């Protein structure tokens, strides 16, 4: 089937059924579309909308985002997950201001060169905001193409990706490519869904090879399953006499990268060993130590179970805490801080937010 026939039917469907009232579709500047596309990576539209609206209020343009601190950005990102997206968004804004005079670049090569932006995201921004003709290949598009063309194989495999990029290029029309880009994303999100797809409402179902071959439930091919290993850790929830909580900034790489978190103690919950570790590593004496309920967090490569260990803490007389990667946190006085998920949960549990 020619790309014209595919795109023509899809555009006609979009005219009647496509989504046209999403926040980033109103005044679709490159900045607004870019922020939305980063937020929408591996996150549902309904979840993104309130985050996007709050983000735009605080950072209405790329200059405001570039001038913000990382903590301010991550504070607005907390809860969306995949925090490298927020850090890269912040870095990219600074690059745009420093190297592009505060103007979002308008060539695909320059956009891809920005931190955290790949070919598909770059194409989506340039298409939706600047009406340039570029194919995209996000998760929704992969699902549509895998089913319509009966592509067998996990889309994460390089050879399958190349095949899909060729198909995406063939089907993207030169005219109205911005509407087509939104249309194929909408089709995957609302009709050609991962589960319970609405094939009867699909504008291209008449020549969908997966539907004809009863393969819709089998495509796209799932990623080979692996049993995720389980890791365990101990979070030290330490409170001082002023009611402040000891936090450390996480390293840039790894889980909760760049966010503030309770210190991780040794996994062996031995009272004497823990107290000695806190004295040597944190410079604190512990009092009234109690174990909290275990929390489980699932990441792409492993499960992580953390047990909060609550205690009152007092800095040893010889310790002066001047490390900017550590602070005593008072929610009443420090409002803008990027907090890791377990910190937020524990704060909510004890009601000190």
**Separation CA 87–CA 257 (nearest Å):** 9
Closest CA to 97 of 120, 121, 114, 72: 114
**Separation CA 333–CA 36 (nearest Å):** 31
Respond yes or no: is residue 37 known to be catalytic. Answer: yes
Terminal CA-CA length for the chain: 58
* Secondary-structure percent of the chain, ordered helix, strand, coil, rounded to 5: 45, 15, 40
**Separation CA 321–CA 299 (nearest Å):** 32
CB atoms within 10 A of CB 102: 14
**Separation CA 276–CA 278 (nearest Å):** 5
Catalytic residue among 37, 72, 239, 244, which? 37
Active site residues: 37
């Amino acid at each position: 089937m020619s790309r014209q026939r595919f795109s023509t039917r899809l555009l006609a469907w979009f005219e009647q059924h496509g989504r046209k009232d999403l926040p980033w579709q109103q005044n679709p500047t490159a900045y607004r579309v870019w922020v939305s596309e980063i937020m929408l990576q591996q996150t549902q539209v309904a979840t993104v909308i309130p985050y996007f609206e709050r983000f735009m209020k605080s950072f209405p343009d790329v200059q405001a985002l570039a001038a913000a601190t990382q903590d301010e950005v991550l504070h607005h990102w907390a809860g969306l997950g995949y925090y490298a997206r927020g850090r890269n968004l912040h870095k990219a804004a600074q690059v745009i201001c420093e190297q592009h005079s505060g103007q979002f670049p308008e060539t695909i090569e320059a956009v891809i060169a920005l931190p955290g932006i790949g070919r598909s995201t770059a194409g989506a921004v340039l298409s939706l905001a600047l009406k340039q003709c570029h194919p995209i290949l996000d998760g929704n598009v992969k699902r549509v193409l895998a089913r319509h063309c009966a592509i067998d194989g996990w889309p994460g495999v390089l050879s399958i990706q190349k095949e899909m990029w060729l198909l995406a290029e063939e089907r993207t029309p030169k005219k109205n490519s911005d509407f087509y880009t939104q249309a194929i994303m909408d089709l995957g999100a609302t009709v050609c869904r991962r589960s319970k797809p609405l094939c009867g409402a699909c504008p291209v179902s008449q020549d969908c090879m997966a539907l004809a071959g009863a393969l819709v439930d089998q495509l796209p091919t799932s990623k080979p399953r692996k049993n995720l290993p389980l890791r365990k850790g101990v979070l030290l929830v330490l409170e001082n006499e002023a009611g402040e909580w000891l936090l450390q900034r996480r390293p840039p790489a790894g889980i909760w990268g760049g966010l503030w978190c309770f210190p991780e103690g040794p996994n062996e919950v031995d009272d004497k060993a823990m107290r000695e570790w806190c004295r040597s590593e944190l410079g604190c004496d512990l009092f009234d130590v109690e174990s909290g309920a275990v929390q489980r967090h699932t990441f792409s490569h492993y499960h992580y179970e953390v047990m909060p260990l609550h205690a009152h803490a007092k800095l040893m007389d010889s310790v002066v805490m001047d490390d900017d990667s550590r602070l005593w946190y008072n929610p009443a006085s420090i409002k803008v801080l990027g907090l890791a998920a377990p910190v937020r949960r524990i704060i909510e549990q004890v009601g000190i937010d």
